[in-house]
């Protein structure tokens, strides 16, 4: 049985970061994130319109795996996280 | 083309509400919500664990339809809403 | 494998509540809470000194069981909850 | 059919920025913003009196175009955004 | 010369208000608001999607007329106001 | 007819600023502020006791002049502003 | 030597208050406030445009007299107060 | 060895409370508080000027006694508490 | 007659400050603070347990002297201040 | 008799810290923390899932020892602390 979480991630990169370092960092971020999407734990990701932020849905083994995934993000040192544990809603028809 | 929104809804029902009125109200809420789920605009709903609150994903024609759905909720007068417009994230593999 | 959560619960009872109804409600609350303590899911509870609030540690099957326990509290309609999912810390010696 | 949004943008430029770099950046910002004003998506912009901030009204195809416009701002890395989706008000006489 | 203001108004009506009193109150609110729209001071009003709230733009003689208009709203005792004085933005092309 | 505003200004100067640059900056700030005091728009200024902050009252032509005055402050890039439009109170005996 | 204070007072009267009781209460409030204005402690009062709130300047003997004046207001039980002690600003030309 | 705490208590009594009940409640509050002042645990109490609030210093055996004292206050159901544990400061000359 | 104030001071020193400069700064801070303690204006100081912060009680001539003392602190540029004017509480037995 | 406290610690390390200095700092942090765990004052520590933060339970002699432990943390200059004094809850079955 997996556990569902919503995570809102806000990114705050220094504007004067070296462009090459930034490109390399964002490339690693994308590859890392897509790895967890392909293996099925990172179910959804949306851009929050107008912000350098995303809302994501995770289905993981539990709290420890959620932390493993999020703390391993190359952008983790630049992010503020808001984590909400979710479960089935009685009105859900799925 | 549809527009995606995340909505966090927090419910604050008076604890001394008449039990029958409450049951009737919650029944109407469920039926109303499931109507929009079946017609495809209310894509997902999760209970926020430990809270009388939910996180939902909508795919609607636009801002006006989102407002029509949310303001029509029988529980709307008892709810606090937090609306976040979403769009495709560049790392999304779907 | 169980999941660990910290929950801070703040109680806001109306000061003019009928004393008998209040006594009966608090009695049911205590019995309900102690049931989950005895069955092992509600590991710890402390009073926050000077406040009508507690800090509790739960070890549960997952998010759904946490919600089942918390939403079943007789005082739930009078409570504000703050839920934090926890996992093992690398410095923990236990 | 277009979607309407209000966006409050607060700018936080480092006071010790190189004056030439600052002038060049602000010049690009103005040209970029006026491009979207001329093409009709950026309907209104006002300075918030006494603050380095503006309130703007956008009419765009949807959430994705709003994000394209805002995230493309040369000042975007220095801005905090507050986005509000809008729709027609029943008292509007227009 | 007129002064421009943005006002965000959040309405909090008691859910158990008498339906007739509510209908009558909202009717007076609409008539009052449209009077100021027709006379030109209340330039724009939008519903904030998903909320019982609006964002409005006023062009008035000054602070006193703004207060006269807002404090005269039949819904004023039920509203929370956020007032932002505005002026021309240097990037505005109008 | 003039418009009245209260403005709370909080100053946040970097502690390691060059002492001469700081002295020169504060000298320009004082001269600039006293210019607007002498010409009558900056009616009052008080130090908030214990804080690097002031509360000021302005009487200006309107929102645009208020912005002109405040954004021209040499310390403006180091300030956080809180602007409140004011008007005559019915209990005022003056 | 007198002490200067700024006080922001926000009033929250129940919308369903008996109209006569309300008129009587507001009449007493006005008389009480004007008494302290005439005796010189309540130097200034402004309405905050668009809000049921005021900003006032007091010159009193000290903290105790400020409390005596404010806590004696007939509207005190309905008010939220924000008190700021003030002193002379080095840029003040008066 | 005693433990020191600062507690800020904000009181929110319903304005329409029965005057006799209020007088009786405040009388009991005063007697209860002065009992703990005389026995030495409630070292200091000050009114926060302009607010229905106090700041108090306690010297107690520990967290449990602090809670016993505060939760026993007749006004406790109407109070919001902010508790700060204190200890000796290295600059203290006493 | 003196005036009483509570001040909460939170210190935020850059972690990479030169150790000698830091030692010298903290030495000056201690000497300065103890000077006002010895002359009787700085009545009490406590460390807030677990934080780089203190709570202090001042008895001063008025707001201006409070500002003179606080703004003269060598650590003032690194501090955030929260000032509360106090007066005698009716339950105080001293 | 020991006193119980919950402490939430949020760490904010500069992302561009020298990797060796960081490794050395974290090594000292772990050793220091485990010292207090072994001597029995630091009873529990959990990672807050998805955040660079922990929740800990301390059983100490009193406020002074709590401050000694927390302020001695090698990461203390990079941490924000939230301290809650706890005591026995009447529903606790242990």
Query: Per residue in I26-74, pLDDT tens?
Result: 999 999 999 999 999 999 999 999 999 999 999 999 999 999 999 999 9
Burial pattern J79-93, b for ≥16 Cβ within 10 A else e, equals bebebbbbbebebbe
pLDDT > 90? residue D19: yes
Count each helix (H run) and each strand (E run) in chain I, helices first.
2, 4
Mean local confidence (pLDDT), A26-35: 98
Give residue-wise pLDDT tens across range B10-33.
Answer: 999 999 999 999 999 999 999 999
- As a whole number of angstroms, the distance between CA G30 and CA G11 comes to 14
**Nearest Cα residue in chain E from G52:** E71
Select the residue from F61, F64, F84, F89 to test the E interface by mutation, using most E Cβ atoms within 10 A.
Answer: F64
Nearest alpha carbon to residue I89 among H43, H69, D30 = H43
Residue pair J7/H85 in contact (Cβ under 8 Å)? The answer is no
For residue G33, give the 3-state DSSP assignment.
helix
Q: Which residues are within 8 A (CB) of I1 and not within 5 positions of it... i.e. 6 or more apart?
A: G61, G62
Please state the rounded mean pLDDT for residues I71-78: 98
I94 — pLDDT class (breaks 50, 70, 90): confident
Fold of I3-86: Alpha-Beta Plaits (3.30.70)
Task: Give the single-character DSSP code of J91.
Answer: T
User: Which among E63, E76, E77 is the nearest to G49, CB-wise?
Assistant: E63
The pLDDT, as a whole number, for residue E21 is 97
- Statement: residue G1 has pLDDT above 90: no
Q: What is the rounded average pLDDT for all residues in chain C?
A: 97
Q: Which of residues 7-36 of D touch E (CB under 8 A)?
A: 29-30, 33-34
Structure tokens at C13: 């009872």
Q: Hey, which bits of chain C come out as E strands?
A: 3-11, 42-48, 53-60, 79-88
- What's the whole-number mean pLDDT along residues I71-92? 98
CA distances A77 to A6, A11, A81, F74, H12, Å, are 19, 9, 11, 34, 42
CB contact under 8 A, A83 and J51: yes
Determine the 3-state secondary structure of H83 from DSSP. strand
pLDDT at position E1:
83
d(CA J60, CA F5): 52
Q: What is the dihedral of CA J18, J23, J24, J25, to 10 degrees?
A: 80
Nearest to G86 among F38, F46, F93 (CB): F46
pLDDT band with cut points at 50, 70 and 90 for residue J88: very high
In chain C, pLDDT over 90 holds for what percent of residues? 98
Tokens of I2: 């003196």
DSSP sequence for F49-84? TTSSEEEEEEEESSHHHHHHHHHT-TTGGGEEEEEE
- DSSP structural state of residue C66: H
Bridge partners for C3 per DSSP? C60
What was the pLDDT predicted at J94?
A: 86
| Cβ-based contacts of E74 with chain G (< 8 Å) | none
More confident residue, J37 or B1: J37
- Taking the C-alpha atoms of residue C12 and residue F29, their distance in angstroms, rounded to an integer, is 50
Chain B CB contacts of A41 below 8 Å: none
Q: What integer pLDDT is reported at residue G94 of this predicted model?
A: 87
Mean pLDDT of D24-51: 98
What six digits make up the tokens of I20? 């000698």
Q: How far apart are CA E49 and CA B64, in angstroms?
A: 7
Q: How many whole angstroms separate alpha carbon A31 and alpha carbon A14?
A: 21
b or e along B38-56 (b: 16 or more beta carbons within 10 Å of the residue's beta carbon)?
eeebbbbbbbbbbbbbbbb
ipTM above 0.90, yes or no: yes
Regions of chain F with pLDDT less than 70: none
Question: Which of G33, G48, G87 has its CB closest to that of F84?
Answer: G48
pLDDT above 90 as % of chain B: 98
Residue B12 contacts residue C46 (beta carbons within 8 Å): no
CB of B78 within 8 A of CB of B11? yes
With 0-12 / 13-18 / 19 or more C-beta atoms within 10 angstroms meaning exposed / middle / buried, residue J31 is exposed
Among residues 44-63 of chain B, which lie with CB inside 8 Å of chain A?
44-50, 54-55
Question: 3-class secondary structure for chain B?
Answer: CCEEEEEEEEECCCCCCCHHHHHHHHHHHHHHHHHHHHCCCEEEEEEECCCCEEEEEEEECCHHHHHHHHHCCCCHHHEEEEEEEEEECCCCCC
pLDDT digits (tens, 9 = 90+) for G50-80: 999 999 999 999 999 999 999 999 999 999 9
Tokens 């009003």 locate to: E45
Q: Do B87 and A46 touch (CB under 8 A)?
A: yes
* Touch of A by B (3+ CB pairs closer than 8 Å): yes
Give first-to-last CA distance, chain D, whole Å: 16
* Assigned token pair, E39: 């006379």
- D3-32 mean pLDDT: 97
What whole-number percentage of chain D has pLDDT above 70? 100
Whole-angstrom Cα distance, residue C84 to residue A67?
12
Q: What tokens were used for D5?
A: 């949004």
CA distance B4 to A44: 12
3-state SS, one letter per residue, for E17-77:
CCHHHHHHHHHHHHHHHHHHHHCCCEEEEEEECCCCEEEEEEEECCHHHHHHHHHCCCCHH
Q: What is the mean pLDDT of chain B?
A: 97
pLDDT mean over B43-68: 98
C49 vs H63, H76, H78: nearest CB: H63
* d(C-alpha B56, C-alpha C22), whole Å: 35
Do B45 and B32 touch, CB atoms closer than 8 A? no
């Amino acid at each position: 049985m997996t556990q569902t979480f919503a995570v809102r991630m806000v990114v705050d990169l220094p504007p004067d970061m070296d462009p090459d370092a930034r490109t390399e960092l964002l490339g690693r971020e994308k590859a890392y994130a897509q790895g967890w999407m392909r293996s099925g734990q990172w179910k959804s990701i949306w851009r929050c319109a107008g912000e350098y932020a995303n809302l994501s849905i995770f289905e993981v083994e539990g709290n420890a795996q959620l932390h493993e995934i999020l703390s391993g993000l190359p952008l983790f040192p630049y992010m503020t996280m808001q984590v909400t544990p979710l479960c089935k809603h009685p009105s859900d028809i799925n």
